[in-house]
Amino acid sequence: MTTTSKDNGPQRSDARTGTGGGARRRAKGSSALASERREHLVKLAAELFAKKGYQATTVRNIADEAGILSGSLYHHFDSKESIVDEILSSFFNELTAANQAALEKGGDPRAVISALVRICFSTLVPHRAAIMVMQNDWNYLKQFDRFDYLSRSEEETERMWIGQIERGQETDLFRSDIDPKLTYRMIRDTIWVTVRWFQPGGRLDAQGLADHYIKVLFDGISVHQ
């Protein structure tokens, strides 16, 4: 409805303005709901990827788990690759940022490596699916250009760890007769494999597990004479 102003001509009524505000609120609510649905689908897909493997999980599997038609999934993602991309990129972005913060905080090499170990263990629960996909489907995914960041992220992480191991050797904190790269890879693999048997809610939580691992890593299992 419009009213006529002698000075300014036709003007919109307050009722019309109110309707516009309501439309914006509805649009905002719809956007939030779509975001929630998207997040829910990512979580469902993540669990399937962890359980069945990325390659063995189909779009139909994800849709069935969500109780929707396969075509409905494409309202939120253009492909299965987009879903796993979101899972993995979120994991590596968080891991890299935390690792960089640990290095910036500083300390002697043992303190920094202890911090890096704790960061790894802290991801076991929130990023379980990403770690499982990383273990099971790494070689398959990294052949695609879309996932180039996987190798770059791994190389960056490796440089961080090796740099601290070498710094420890240079300061006589760590043994000089160990190979830094091999040592890092052995540490890396023994940490990530725990995702296959670690049970949240057990005797040790993730940080308790990290404490035990650090003790064995630096002090060994032999009684020092």
pLDDT digits (tens, 9 = 90+) for 178-196: 999 999 999 999 999 999 9
CATH number of 16-73: 1.10.10.60
| Other CB atoms within 10 A of residue 102 CB | 21
pLDDT (0 to 100) of residue 125: 93
Cβ atoms of residues 50 and 83 within 8 Å: no
pTM score, two decimals? 0.80
Question: Where are the chain's structural domains?
Answer: 16-73, 80-219
pLDDT (0 to 100) of residue 23: 55
Decide which of 169 and 199 is more confident.
169
CATH class assigned to 80-219: mainly alpha
Sign of dihedral through CA atoms 60, 65, 66, 68? positive
The string of DSSP letters for 153-175 reads: HHHHHHHHHHHHHHHHHHTTSS-
Inter-CA distances, 213 with 28, 114, 191, Å: 47, 9, 8
Hey, is 9 helix, strand or coil? strand
Q: How many whole angstroms separate alpha carbon 112 and alpha carbon 100?
A: 10
Hey, is 4 helix, strand or coil? strand
pLDDT in tens, 128-161: 999 999 999 999 998 999 999 999 999 999 999 9
pLDDT in tens, 52-96: 999 999 999 999 998 888 888 888 888 999 999 999 999 999 999
pLDDT (0 to 100) of residue 14: 46
